[in-house]
Amino acid sequence: MEKEKITYENKNNFHKLSESEKKNVFAFCEDYRQFISKAKTEREFCEDSCRLLESNGFVPLEDKKTLKAGDKVYAVNRGKGLIAAVIGKQPMEDGINLVGAHIDSPRLDLKPNPLYEDQGIAFFKTHYYGGIKKYQWTTMPLAIHGIAALEDGTQIKIVVGEKESDPVFCVTDLLPHLAQKQMAQKMNEAIPGENLNVILGNIECDDEDAKEAVKENILRILHENYDIREEDLLSSEIEVVPAFDARDVGLDRSMIGGYGQDDRVCGYTALRAILEMKNPDKTAVCLLVDKEEVGSMGATGMQSRYFENIMAKLCAKTAKNYSDLMLRDCLSNSTCLSADVGAALDPNYAEVSEKRNSAFLNCGLVLTKYTGARGKSGASDAGAELVAKMRKIFNENQVEWQMGELGKVDLGGGGTIAQFVANLDMDVIDAGVPLLSMHSPFEIAGKLDIYMTYKGYREFYRNN
């Protein structure tokens, strides 16, 4: 008789996957790698997601007067977030299965009036967005992605630095020969925020009377290529991001390195999971939000009423007599996976993690019961019952998973959209991919973890 296993161990089981499952892992991750190499901003992620949704039979929610089980709809929030739903057989009051990720990532945003010239070099001024280590953003190729909104309502898309033939941009840093003082400074003070200026050009326009001839030449190029003037930049949103594609990492190709995997890795896996949903019992909803990296504020962030408003519409369109109680019941009876990345233990900096409660690369989807800092402050702290429910779903469906805490007690901390979802009276737990070098321009994720996260979300939709 086999002895019952009573100990628990967190393990990397990549080598134990069947050949066909391994194939699935690598094929899925190649799709993912290509997707995030292109969709680098929340607007682009949203646009490319809509394309995938449309080609998989989803239609705009506003096109449907009524909804019935099996219908697939989506709604876009101001071009920067979206909600996709597959209507279930059970009424909305029974609650939904929600997977919510954010699609904004740390970056440099252009200031509203960004263009200037100094000592014959033209620059864009930036204001960084989210928690970055500023020194990581100097001396590497950068691309600009964004839109200019014009008075007549049209939008001009601007993407430079992605095509092989495009120029790229850069934030300079001091040569070591003259950096004696800088090198003795604290890491968080060595690169001042106002020095994160993006280099743009160095040729004067041929107007002899121009006061700032290099700047003017840049304006002429912008005008020629995009038909915009300097004032149009005031109503633009342009983001500066790493110019390189995501790549396979490691001789065994076990990892993917790339920009903005926090949290596009969970955004993409959640999206792929909802694309496959057919006739679920409970309505399955995929939510992609903006502004998580700056506190989930704003009309496109998780603290906005947008999510509730769309849920109200789903309730109203699936039932004959809509009432407010229907929406309240729907929210109360729902379960949410807050789809966000966790920190993987980095052997080079193992001292910040507590090994027994840390997530490890390629050990599977990471459930994070609580985030917060200094005594779990600010954490929504998922209930044990919800952890048990997820355990069951994952274990019964061969989803590799692990538990992870964000670093040692009192060393730091973080937060996700979980706390705002919990405020809606919903059960919620963080579930996503553990990363190395989180918030850096080249974050690293394990391929098994990426695939298992997708599989985990899919099984959650199917089995709950």
Task: Give whichever of 87 and 266 is closer to Mn ion, judged by the CB atom.
Answer: 266
Pairing of strands 335-339, 342-343: unpaired
340 binds Mn ion (CB under 5 A): yes
What is the closest distance, in whole angstroms, from the C-beta atom of residue 413 to Mn ion in the complex? Answer: 12
430 binds Mn ion (CB under 5 A): no
What is the closest distance, in whole angstroms, from the C-beta atom of residue 145 to Mn ion in the complex? Answer: 19
Q: For Mn ion, how many residues bind (rule: CB under 5 A)? A: 3
443 binds Mn ion (CB under 5 A): no
Which residue number has the CB closest to Mn ion?
Answer: 263
209-247 burial, b if ≥16 CB within 10 A, otherwise e? eeebbbbbbbbeebeeeeebeeebbeebbbbbbbbbebe
Interface with Mn ion by CB under 5 A: which range of 3-11, 263-271, 403-411, 441-449?
263-271
239 binds Mn ion (CB under 5 A): no
263 binds Mn ion (CB under 5 A): yes
Please say whether the beta carbons of 49 and 83 come within 8 A.
no
Interface with Mn ion by CB under 5 A: which range of 4-12, 167-175, 334-342, 450-458?
334-342
Interface with Mn ion by CB under 5 A: which range of 158-166, 234-242, 332-340, 421-429?
332-340
Task: Give whichever of 216 and 262 is closer to Mn ion, judged by the CB atom.
Answer: 262
Q: Which of 225, 273, 254 is nearest to 363 (CA)?
A: 254
Task: Give whichever of 43 and 439 is closer to Mn ion, judged by the CB atom.
Answer: 439
Q: State both tokens at 395.
A: 């274990």
What is the closest distance, in whole angstroms, from the C-beta atom of residue 369 to Mn ion in the complex? Answer: 16
What is the closest distance, in whole angstroms, from the C-beta atom of residue 291 to Mn ion in the complex? Answer: 11
Q: How far apart are CA 435 and CA 344, in angstroms?
A: 5
Task: Give whichever of 340 and 449 is closer to Mn ion, judged by the CB atom.
Answer: 340
Q: State both tokens at 390.
A: 């997820």
Task: Give whichever of 72 and 291 is closer to Mn ion, judged by the CB atom.
Answer: 291
Q: How far apart are CA 3 and CA 326, in angstroms?
A: 50
Q: Which residues contact 34 (CB under 8 A, 6 or more apart)?
A: none
Helix, strand or coil, per DSSP, at residue 62: helix
What is the closest distance, in whole angstroms, from the C-beta atom of residue 21 to Mn ion in the complex? Answer: 27
Task: Give whichever of 106 and 364 is closer to Mn ion, judged by the CB atom.
Answer: 106
Please say whether the beta carbons of 394 and 456 come within 8 A.
yes
Interface with Mn ion by CB under 5 A: which range of 117-125, 295-303, 338-346, 388-396?
338-346
262 binds Mn ion (CB under 5 A): yes
Task: Give whichever of 93 and 262 is closer to Mn ion, judged by the CB atom.
Answer: 262
Please say whether the beta carbons of 132 and 140 come within 8 A.
no
Please say whether the beta carbons of 238 and 158 come within 8 A.
yes
CA atoms within 13 A on the CB side of 216: 10
Count of CB atoms situated within 10 Å of the CB of 47: 15
Cα 336 to the chain's mean position, in Å? 17
Residue 159 phi, psi dihedral angles, 5° rounding: -135, 115
Task: Give whichever of 406 and 452 is closer to Mn ion, judged by the CB atom.
Answer: 406
Q: State both tokens at 120.
A: 């014959």
Task: Give whichever of 158 and 341 is closer to Mn ion, judged by the CB atom.
Answer: 341
117 binds Mn ion (CB under 5 A): no
Indicate the length of the chain as a whole number.
464
Task: Give whichever of 101 and 158 is closer to Mn ion, judged by the CB atom.
Answer: 101
What is the closest distance, in whole angstroms, from the C-beta atom of residue 49 to Mn ion in the complex? Answer: 17
Interface with Mn ion by CB under 5 A: which range of 13-21, 34-42, 336-344, 385-393?
336-344
What is the closest distance, in whole angstroms, from the C-beta atom of residue 266 to Mn ion in the complex? Answer: 8
Alpha helices in 319-359 (DSSP H): 324-332
What Å distances lie between residue 70 and 73, 88, 168, 321, 342, CA to CA?
10, 6, 46, 20, 33
Interface with Mn ion by CB under 5 A: which range of 242-250, 259-267, 375-383, 423-431?
259-267
Interface with Mn ion by CB under 5 A: which range of 335-343, 395-403, 417-425, 444-452?
335-343
- Which residues sit at the interface with Mn ion, rule CB under 5 A? 262-263, 340
